[in-house]
């Protein structure tokens, strides 16, 4: 009986040890399976994120021109940055020829983001281009866009702000610019002064209403002369609504003060570069998309005209986040 008890105890100890070993093996297997599942889920999430970013980037490129055209006697530059690489932005711009040696340009911002905003952006861009080919008057183009947005049931309650310009070559080598606005922030006209500074004027056309919000919307236009050495900056509110280090928005006043410190004569490429550098110094620039479009008339002793600069970039500041390229074409 004693021997049997000893044997039983030994068997129970060995059986208990075996259970412990098996339990530990099962625990490790569960942990390994969990780790592998988490790793697979992480890789799948990264693939999905990359696929969404690639899709958004591809779609975004169809909504803005791949490069700015070479306009004789004019320097053009632009910059586009989306708030998130996973979303399609609602900002838009374009430059294209119309009739009689004239050129049209526009820049605007659709309410919201994502696929719905992208559909409105596409409709907006091609409607403005088509309308300008029928009637190049900027006010008429905005009226046509307003009607198109209100008639399209798929647009819903989406509306946009826009500024539309017409460039008419002048005898002095500059351009007569007619600007029509539809609820958009003012453009800034930069011109050198006799003291070597830059005078900054906000080009406001009073009365321009939101586009696509009201059936009887009214749009206002204003004409200015863009002489050699002068420039014009158009932007979306992602620039002026970005907050500085002290928590205040840059606002129109901050942007005007910044532009007044630019060197003369004004060059579109340098103006865009300086403005992008300003954005890089602001800690709060990823809330909204930012679109910039600059035009300038080189002086007679400047480099050959028709220079264009195009830059598209996603939200991330790293070099691999670029969704476009820079083009400089004489």
Regarding whether 174 and 125 lie in a shared domain, the answer is: yes
Q: How does pLDDT run across 83-138, given as a tens digit for each residue? A: 666 566 778 999 999 988 899 999 999 887 776 777 788 889 889 999 999 999 99
Regarding whether 88 and 52 lie in a shared domain, the answer is: no
Regarding whether 176 and 202 lie in a shared domain, the answer is: yes
- 3-class secondary structure per residue, the chain: CHHHHHHHHHHHHHHHHHHHHHHHHHHHHHHHHHHHHHHHHHHHHHHHHHHHHHHHHHHHHHHCCCCCCCCCCCEEEEEEECCCCCCCCCEEEEEEECCCCCEEEEEEEECCCHHHHHHHHHHHHHHHHHHHHHCCCHHHHHHHHHHHHHHCHHHCCCCEEEEEEEEEECCCCCEEEEEEEECCCCEEEEEECCCCCEEEEEECCCCCCCECCCCCCCCEEEEEEECCCCEEEEECHHHHCCECCCCCECHHHHHHHHHHCCCCCCCHHHHHHHHHHHHHHCCECCCCCEEEEEEECCCCCCCCCCCEEEEEECCCCCHHHECCCCCCCC
Report the domain count for the chain: 2
The domain containing residue 229 runs over which residues? 66-321
Regarding whether 160 and 120 lie in a shared domain, the answer is: yes
Regarding whether 121 and 174 lie in a shared domain, the answer is: yes
Q: Is residue 329 one of the residues assigned to a domain? A: no
Q: How does pLDDT run across 223-260, given as a tens digit for each residue? A: 999 999 999 999 999 899 988 888 888 899 999 999 99
Q: Is residue 327 one of the residues assigned to a domain? A: no
Regarding whether 76 and 43 lie in a shared domain, the answer is: no
Q: Is residue 31 one of the residues assigned to a domain? A: yes
Regarding whether 54 and 71 lie in a shared domain, the answer is: no
Task: Provide the whole-model pTM.
Answer: 0.77
């Amino acid at each position: 009986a004693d021997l049997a008890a000893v044997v039983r105890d030994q068997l129970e100890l060995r059986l208990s040890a075996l259970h412990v070993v098996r339990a530990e093996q099962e625990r490790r297997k569960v942990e390994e399976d969990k780790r592998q599942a988490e790793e697979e889920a992480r890789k799948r999430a990264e693939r999905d994120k990359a696929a969404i970013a690639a899709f958004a980037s591809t779609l975004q490129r169809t909504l803005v021109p791949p490069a700015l055209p070479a306009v004789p006697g004019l320097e053009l530059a632009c910059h586009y940055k989306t708030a998130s690489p996973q979303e399609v932005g609602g900002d838009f711009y374009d430059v294209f020829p119309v009739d009689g040696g004239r050129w049209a340009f526009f820049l605007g911002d659709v309410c919201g983001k994502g696929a719905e905003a992208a559909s409105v952006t596409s409709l907006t861009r091609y409607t403005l281009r088509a309308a300008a080919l029928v009637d190049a008057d900027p006010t008429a183009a905005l009226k046509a866009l307003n009607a198109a947005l209100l008639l399209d049931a798929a647009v819903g309650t989406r509306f946009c702000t826009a500024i539309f310009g017409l460039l008419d070559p002048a005898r002095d080598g500059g351009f007569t610019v007619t600007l029509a606005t539809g609820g958009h922030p003012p453009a800034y006209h930069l011109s050198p002064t006799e003291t070597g500074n830059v005078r900054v004027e906000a080009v406001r056309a009073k009365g321009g209403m939101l586009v696509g919000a009201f059936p009887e919307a009214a749009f206002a236009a204003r004409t200015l002369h863009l002489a050699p050495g002068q420039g014009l900056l158009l932007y979306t509110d992602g620039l002026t609504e970005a907050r500085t280090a002290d928590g205040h928005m840059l606002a129109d006043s901050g942007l005007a003060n910044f532009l007044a410190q630019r060197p003369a004569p004004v060059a579109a490429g340098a103006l865009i570069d300086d403005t992008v550098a300003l954005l890089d110094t602001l800690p709060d620039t990823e809330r909204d998309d930012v679109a910039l479009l600059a035009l300038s008339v080189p002086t007679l002793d400047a480099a050959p005209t028709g220079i264009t600069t195009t830059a598209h970039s996603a939200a991330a500041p790293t070099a691999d986040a670029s969704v476009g390229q820079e083009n400089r074409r004489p």
